[in-house]
Structure 1
Amino acid sequence: MPALLDVTLPVFLVIGFGYAAARLGFIRDGAVDGLMQFAQGIAIPCLLFRAISTLDLGQVFGGPLLVSFYAGATAGFLAGLLGARLLFGRPWQDAVAIGFCALFSNSLLLGLPITERAYGAGALSANYAIIAVHSPYCYALGITVMEVVRHSGRGLPATARAVATAMFRNPLVVGIAAGVAVNLSGTELPRVALEAVDLLVRAALPAALFGLGGVLVRYRPEGDLPTVLFVCALSLVLHPAITWSLGQALELGQGPLRSAVVTAAMAPGINAYLFANMYGVAKRVAATSVLAATVLSILTVPLWLALLD
């Protein structure tokens, strides 16, 4: 266990440094926002573009990998949706947002660095395959169900447009799509341009982790404790447990299984709060769940790493 903590603690310490810097006033909210805009809007899309443009797409986009991960994610979403409605009596719109918290794991800011530290940079191919589908799948599912429960009456074409608009305004999706286009076309990019992109890539995860800590200062642990703990259990236990079980049953190889389970074991990402804020529902639960699950994952992630080893 101490060795596994050595793998995970540096990642959480960088988040902690960002939290402390923002909490103590060394960096202002505007600086944190600027850092996160750089990380999520430029550096991480460059990271995804660079990784996916060189992947063997036919090899890494395997059915067992995606089924194992996304069956667990969908089960978490449905459990969160129904649990919020039936166990905690939340309105349907709140229930969808709470289900989204259990659906959208932090595959980028936590999943990538922890997998890399645990298994090396060569183990990240399966992570990138999961990430390539992550935002499109999660937002498509969440927005579609939310539009249904809201009885908006906009019809299928309008709902499809809302989903597509949300997708392609996301810089991460743009980076992924550009990487796929370069990969499939076999385009040779100028070496000097790739070197410039690589400089941005090296800054992506440290900047994002530090910025994540600064953002978490804004999320106060307020109320709704049973619901928040329920979301934490779905995110940190149910999702990775289903992914691990299906990965074993589908004979997923050791490397892809590790990537899938580690990614599934991550706390909800900031997008969980952004989704709730977009619809103006369950914002307190979403914000507190992001903070609480991130803290609890310091304890739970080493357990999953131990199981995988």
Structure 2
Amino acid sequence: MLNILTITGPIYLVIALGFAATYRGLFSKLDGQVLGRFVLHFALPAMLFNTLTQRDFAEVMNPRYLIAYGVGSVFSFALGFGVWRVWRKKSLTQSSLVAMGVSSANSGYVGYPILLQLLGPAAGVGLALTVLVENLVTIPLALAMAESGETAHLSWRHTVLQSLKRMAKIPMMQAIVLGFAFSILGWHLPEVLSKTVNLFAASTAAIALFVNGGSLVGMRVLGLIQEVRWIAIGKLVVHPLAVGLMLMVVGPMEPSLKISAVLLAGMPMLGIYPLLAQRHGEEGFCAAALLVTTVASFFTVSLIVWAMGELPGWHV
């Protein structure tokens, strides 16, 4: 277990440092937002582009991974929505946001730095495929359903289309498409541009974790922990378990991709979760869920890393 803590420990120490620095006023919440925009618009896209262009398209585009992660995520989405809507009798909007919380992971800010320690450069492949599933399936679907709960005059098809259009403008998605294009065509950047991209890519992990920690400052859980604990269980237990079971169904896959799929599914929900819920007036509820899930993930992620190390066929 000590070996596991040497992998997960530094990740959560950087998150804690980001929290402490923001809490003590060394960095403001606004500073964190600026750093976050740098990661989203430059560092993460550079890392994804770098990873995809350095591999053959056939190696990167893995249908089995997409099916396993996609079906596992949709199952978690449906279960979260059903429990909240049918069993707990909550609104369509809140149920949709819960579904997004249990099926969409913080793959870039927390997942990638952990994978990087375990897998090295291969970590970017699983991240790219996961980002495709999240940005083309679970997040647009959740946002469309949440919108339809408040705007009955708009069809869900129209809302999904609008969500997909917004996703297409995200730099990470553009970097993935461009990276796939370079991979298919066998193109390479000139050396001066390649080194520039490498500089941005190398800055991803530490800044992303630091920003994630700072974003937790000011979040409150009082009065909500009884409810949000169920979201944490769905995200940290049900989602990776569903993806892991699907990996057994789809057939053989290289260990690095199996590790990527289960670990990324086991991450806390995406860092902008409360921001996406803000327009629906559910930001406090979602912020509490994010805080509880992020803290709990230190233990569950460490357990997942340990368990995978004990399974045959899961060693890189």
TM-score tier by shorter-chain length is over 0.9
Cα distance, 1:217 vs structure 2? 0.7
CA contact (8 A) 2:148 2:155 kept: no
In structure 2, what is the equivalent of residue 269 of structure 1?
A: 270
User: Matched residues in 2 for 1:42 and 1:119: separation?
Assistant: 22
Partners of 2:108 and 2:244 in 1: CA distance = 19
**Residue of structure 2 equivalent to 1:182:** 182
Tell me the residue number matched to 1:54: 54
Q: Given residue 57 of structure 1, which amino acid in structure 2 is its aligned partner?
A: F
Aligned to 1:168: 168
CA 1:165/1:223 → structure 2, altered by over 3 Å: closer, same or farther? Answer: farther
Q: Does 1:209 align with 2:209?
A: yes
Q: Which residue of structure 2 aligns with residue 153 of structure 1?
A: 153
The C-alpha deviation readout for 1:79-105, integer Å capped at 9, x for no partner, is 221222233332111111111111111
CA distance in 1, matches of 2:169, 2:119: 33
What value does the CA root-mean-square deviation take over the aligned residues? 1.9
CA displacement, residues 56-92 of structure 1 (integer Å, 9 cap, x when unaligned): 2223322321222122211221122122223333211
User: Structure 1, unaligned stretches of length 5 or more?
Assistant: none
Question: What do residues 26-67 of structure 1 show as CA deviations (whole Å, max 9, x unaligned)?
Answer: 112221111111111211111112222333222332232122
Following superposition, the deviation at residue 236 of structure 1 comes to 0.4
Measure the CA separation in 1 of the matches of 2:68 and 2:157.
30
Q: Report how far residue 268 of structure 1 moved.
A: 0.5
Structure 2-normalised TM-score?
Answer: 0.90
Partner of 2:260: 259
> Would the aligned equivalents of 1:276 and 1:286 in 2 still touch at CA under 8 Å?
yes
What is the match of residue 133 of structure 1? Answer: 133
Q: CA deviation at 1:215?
A: 1.0
Q: Quote the Cα distance in structure 1 between the aligned partners of 2:123 and 2:147.
A: 38
Contact 1:98–1:285 (CA<8 Å) still a contact in 2? no
Q: CA offsets, 1:198-232, max 9 Å, x none?
A: 11111112111111111111322233222211110
Determine if the alignment matches structure 1 residue 36 to structure 2 residue 36. yes
Local SS of the residue matching 2:219:
coil
Larger mean Cα displacement after TM superposition, 19-28 or 220-229: 220-229
* Amino acid aligned to 2:173: V
Task: Give, in whole Å, the separation in 1 of the partners of 2:175 and 2:210.
Answer: 22
Greater Cα shift, 166-175 or 12-21: 166-175
Q: Identity, % of aligned pairs?
A: 24
Q: Is the 8 A contact 1:15 1:212 kept in 2?
A: yes
Task: Give the superposition deviation at 1:280.
Answer: 1.5
Residue number in structure 2 paired with 1:79 = 79
Describe the shift of the 1:118–1:185 C-alpha distance in structure 2 as closer, same or farther (beyond 3 A). Answer: closer
Q: CA deviation at 1:157?
A: 6.3
Asked whether the 8 Å contact 1:47–1:201 carries over to 2, the reply is yes
Structure number with higher relative contact order (C-alpha < 8 Å, ≥ 6 residues apart): 1
Residues 2-40 of structure 1 show CA distances to partners (whole Å, capped at 9, x for unaligned) of 211111010111111100000011112221111111111
CA contact (8 A) 2:76 2:242 kept: no
- Deviation of 1:191 after TM superposition, in Å, equals 1.0
Distance in 1 of aligned mates of 2:205 and 2:218: 21
- Match of 2:8, as an amino acid? T
Query: Residue type of the partner of 1:272?
Result: Y
Q: How many residues align?
A: 308
Distance 1:56 1:145, change over 3 A: farther
* Inter-partner Cα distance in structure 2 for 1:240 and 1:156: 28
SS in 1 for 2:272: helix
Q: Which residue of 2 aligns with 1:107?
A: 107
* Whole-angstrom distance in 1 between the partners of 2:167 and 2:124: 23
Determine the C-alpha separation between the residues in 1 that align with 2:159 and 2:92.
18
Correspondences of 1:208-287 after superposition (within 5 Å): 208-253=208-253, 254-277=255-278, 279-287=279-287
Q: Which residue does the alignment assign to 1:143?
A: 143
Asked if the contact 2:102/2:269 (under 8 Å) is kept, the reply is yes
Of 28-37 and 82-91, more deviation after overlay is shown by 82-91
| Distance in structure 1 (CA, Å) of the matches to 2:160 and 2:124 | 32
